[in-house]
Amino acid sequence: MQVYCLQCWWADDWDGTEYAMDYNSSRPFLEQVKELAEKTPWQAFESQYLTIENSEYCNAVAHLKNCYLIFWADYCENVFYSRFLNKIKDSLDCYRMKDSELCYEDVGCNKCYRTFFSEECDSCNNVWFSRNCVGCTNCFGCINLRNKNYCIFNEQYSKEDYFKKLEEFRPQSFKALAEIKKQAIQLWSKHPRRVYTGNSLNFNVSGDYIYESKNARDCYMVSGVENSRYIQFVSVAHARDCYDYSGWGNGVEQIYDSGVIGEGASNVKFSNECFPDILNAEYSIYAISSKNIFGCVNIKRKEYCILNKQYSKEDYEKLVAQIKEDMIKNPYKDSLGRSWPYGEFLPLGISPFAYNETIAQEYFPKTKEQAVAQGFSWYEEKTNQYPITISGNDIPDIIAYIDESITKETIGCVECGKAFRITPNEFNLMKKLGLPLPHTCPGCRQKVRFSRTNLPKLYDRACNKCNKPISTSYSPDRPEIVYCEQCYNAEVA
């Protein structure tokens, strides 16, 4: 497989038609798409490169500036070690965030400023270790509060007493923060949770982690979804009239059985990684600013193409109709004998990635043997060995006692033992926030954040207050107190 750096892939000196293939009606069409995929050049990273500035080491991104090791992110500036973001600035170690600034170790927060170690908070300022708080300012270790100020573990304080108590907690200390986090999670476990996680700006929705959506059924981690079903990972609104679609939105409509389609795309079926402004595409991969394409791979700014070959409008429409009939009569079959006729998504074998290289391994973990038996490939990771110059446990407890020489150290993660470093930009931002440096590597920190995320599976259980049947991502054997929407709003909102 050919791989180009982003600058070369996005250059104007090629458009993909150099690799054009004639359709062979005697062979399964998707077999020919696979052949085309194997000979065309691929991007080194999934990136809308022309919108990126000084953010080379990021993947699945667009509209970034001065970012490092962030993934699935749009419209971010000066953000590090974070995932699933939209419009975040000057933040680190965050997951599933939007419209926020100066945040650290947050999960699922929206429109927040200087919010730390918190989850599912909305429109909060200067909030620590809090969960599902809305419109709160200067709160510490709280849950389910609305428009409150100066609260600590849900207890009201005066302004003067609040800041006095805050100093006693020593939030600048790594060891103190670890203990406070345990206390906060214990408090969170004693309070009810909504049947689904999201905000109140929804209408007729089901699933989990849903925001500003309506008529969105069986959705997961979405914002601005309308009149759609089975949608996941829409981080940028909007996505309308879609079905069986995963990521990322930003003004898409009529997307069916496709993944990673964004930025003004419309009427796309059975395709992957097509952006921006894609129109009328089927069975295509990495198509850029193209329309009326069928079975194209790594193609840019073209129209009426099949297998990257240019046709007239009339010939294109005639041949597409024939290919669809041929795909039903002579479908592609994989090594396990499974058929892929017209109307099914792209075969597994076309993907250039192994199962354990994707987020599928996080959500649906498999062993190598299980993955291979189901037709996936597997990547044997090779870990680079670097000489450790300092253990994470030896990093000073308070950042005020550390100077920039720490950025030259190779640190040993206290969890997995892998080497990691503190970058100068990371150090400066942590210094600005007054927070202690981490003792674990970015991978281990993300695992902890992900462990606090419900998986995309719904269970039948009863509301813990009124006993009404509910469908929720909290399984019946879990200890959380889960309320139906009506009971939750009555008690919390």
Q: What is the pLDDT of residues 72-125, one digit of tens each?
A: 999 999 999 999 999 999 999 999 999 999 999 999 999 999 999 999 999 999
224-227 contacts: CB < 8 A, separation 24 or more? 224/249, 225/249
State the amino acid at position 33 in one-letter form.
V
pLDDT at 383: 78
**DSSP summary character for residue 415:** T
Taking residue 481's Cβ as centre, other Cβ atoms within 10 Å add up to 14
Query: Please, how many CA atoms are within 13 Å of residue 417, restricted to the half-sphere of its CB?
Result: 3
Q: How far apart are CA 392 and CA 385, in angstroms?
A: 16
Q: Cα 373 to chain center, whole Å?
A: 27
Distances, alpha carbon 308 to alpha carbons 11, 15, 300, in Å: 17, 9, 10
* Site of tokens 């022309």: 50
| Element spanning 223, H or E | strand 214-223
**Residue 189, CA distances (Å) to 51, 195, 213, 446 in order:** 42, 15, 27, 22
CA 289-73-171 angle, to 5 degrees, is 170
- Predicted TM-score of the model (pTM): 0.94
Q: What angle do CA 8, 12, 18 make, to 5 degrees?
A: 85
CA distance 218 to 445: 29
- Cβ neighbours of residue 75 closer than 8 Å, sequence gap 6 or more: 62, 63, 64, 86, 87, 88, 236
pLDDT tens series, the chain, 493 aa? 899 999 999 999 999 999 999 999 999 999 999 999 999 999 999 999 999 999 999 999 999 999 999 999 999 999 999 999 999 999 999 999 999 999 999 999 999 999 999 999 999 999 999 999 999 999 999 999 999 999 999 999 999 999 999 999 999 999 999 999 999 999 999 999 999 888 878 999 999 999 999 999 999 999 999 999 999 999 999 999 999 999 899 999 999 999 999 999 999 999 999 999 999 999 999 999 999 999 999 999 999 999 999 999 999 999 999 999 999 999 999 989 999 999 999 999 899 999 999 999 999 999 999 999 999 999 998 877 899 999 999 999 999 999 999 999 999 999 999 999 999 999 999 999 999 999 999 999 999 999 999 999 999 999 999 999 999 999 999 999 999 999 999 998 6
Residue 277 corresponds to which tokens in the numbers above?
């402004």
- Residue 438, CA atoms < 13 Å, CB-side half-sphere: 25
Mind listing the pLDDT tens digit for each residue in 416-449? 999 999 999 999 999 999 999 999 999 999 999 9
Q: Identify the pLDDT of residue 199.
A: 81
Q: In this structure, are residues 116 and 124 in contact, taking their beta carbons and an 8 Å threshold? A: no
The three-class DSSP label of residue 180 is: helix
pLDDT of residue 1: 84
DSSP label at residue 13: T
Question: How confident is the model at residue 457, as a pLDDT?
Answer: 92
Indicate the DSSP class of residue 102.
S
Residue 198 has a pLDDT of 82
pLDDT of residue 307: 98
